[in-house]
Amino acid sequence: MKNPHPPIRILTAVPICDGHDSAINTINLELIRHGIEIIYLGYHRPARDIVRAAIQEDVRAIGISSYNGGHVEFFSEIIDLLRKSGSGHIGVFGGGGGTITKADAAAMQKGGVDRIFFAGTPLDLIMKFIAEHYGKPQKRLALGPIRDGFHSERQIAALLTAAVEDMRGRGSEILHPSSKVHTRTIGFTGPGGVGKTTLIDEIVLRYLDAFPKSRIAILSHDPSIVGRGALLGDRASMIYSQDNRVFMRSLASRGQPGGVAQGTDRCLQVLKHVKPHGHSGEFDLILVETVGIGQEAVPFQKEWVDQTVMVMGPDYGSRLQLQKIAMLDLADIVVVNKSDLAGAKTASLEIEQRLEASDQKPEIVSTIAKHHRDPGVDRLFRFLMKK
């Protein structure tokens, strides 16, 4: 059924050449406490990356923390890029401690910025402004059947929002296309903190290099805080996935157990059927990353993905703990990431012994995803492409 009051989604970021993130982290936490879903892009981000991410994530506004000067020009570039892309409906607000003067703020607001907050502004005042300006119902982008023609990033983003928020209210033809296509889909799952996001980013790099005309979609999940919002922070650690041939969408679990969101299956149907502008057809590859999961979670239904990659670290505990991890019996590939850490070789041996009795007989690969051009990730990529 339709959700009448979906959470406000806001993208926050710090501009290029600015590494001050303490202020934006404080604001992020307060926004989450007020039930807002934050897509955090991180710092040192150019205007192009910020605007593109905001469009793909279908956010209500962009919040920018600028402590390094150049704010008048930077905010102006954000506004200009939004308007040129047909996304002038996305609001822009920000702040910058003592670096943004009142005269600067007046000029920026005249140019289209909704509000500039100065040092010492009470957090409650900021939260009130955001609720009043970005919490009202938004006019939705008109969408026809998903099978008709090619789709801009804004249209794809709107279709994904419809899939999550408005399951029946926008026409069954949008979310249940009649055409049958098969876009290769790979699911990545595993406990939190084992490096799934970094590993996916490295796979994206290799895929883009190997297939220069390809287009990739990423569906990423992060947990919601009970009764509050969510910090969707996977983009902050992505480098290669900022490429123009990659479309990424972040989803909050919103209380859904098992590592995915309630609308994940519908979002996958959208991504498997849309045709991005500038491409010959549908996306060539879809990568799905789950929330960090526990022992019992089996996040992917059989029809959702073609392959499942279980990512683990060397610190899972004892051999007894391995016996309890259900995904080890279902994964196509098991990755032991962070294999430079102590105990990694022992972990690989214990996992191999654990899987000897499994019917699935997955490949086991050791990787160090944080190392650029890691041979283990190269091996994983070859396995994925071979299948």
pLDDT tens-digit profile of 22-45?
889 999 999 999 999 999 999 899
**CB 213 within 8 Å of CB 321:** no
Q: Where does a domain end: 82, 105, 134?
A: 134
Judge whether 373 lies within some domain.
yes
Domain identity same for 89 and 235: no
Burial zone of 112 (CB within 10 Å; 0-12 exposed, 13-18 middle, 19+ buried)? middle
Domain identity same for 120 and 211: no
Q: Where does a domain end: 77, 100, 134?
A: 134
Q: Please count the structural domains in the chain.
A: 2
| Predicted pLDDT at 176 | 53
Judge whether 206 lies within some domain.
yes
CATH number of the domain where residue 202 is located = 3.40.50.300
Domain identity same for 329 and 237: yes
Judge whether 151 lies within some domain.
no
Instruction: Fill in the DSSP letter of residue 117.
Output: E
Are β-strands 9-13 and 37-40 bridged in parallel, bridged antiparallel, or unpaired?
Answer: parallel
Percent helix, strand, coil in the chain, to 5, is 35, 20, 45
Judge whether 54 lies within some domain.
yes
CATH number of the domain where residue 95 is located = 3.40.50.280
Domain identity same for 202 and 92: no
C-alpha 132/C-alpha 117 separation (Å) is 15
Domain identity same for 93 and 204: no
Average pLDDT over residues 243-265: 92
Domain identity same for 35 and 125: yes
Q: What is the pTM of this model?
A: 0.93
Q: Quote the mean pLDDT of the chain.
A: 89
Domain, as residue range, for 71: 9-134
Domain identity same for 327 and 382: yes
Judge whether 166 lies within some domain.
no
Judge whether 171 lies within some domain.
no
Domain identity same for 99 and 215: no
Phi-psi category of 138—alpha, beta or left, where left has phi over 0 and alpha has psi -120 to 50?
A: beta
Q: Where does a domain end: 114, 134, 154?
A: 134
pLDDT tens-digit profile of 60-95?
999 999 988 889 999 999 999 999 999 999 999 999
Which range is least confidently modeled, 250-254, 262-266, 318-322? Answer: 318-322
End-to-end CA distance of the chain: give it in Å, rounded.
38
What's the pLDDT band for 168 if we cut at 50, 70, 90?
very low
pLDDT tens-digit profile of 120-140?
899 999 999 999 999 987 777
| Predicted pLDDT at 327 | 82
Judge whether 372 lies within some domain.
yes
Judge whether 55 lies within some domain.
yes
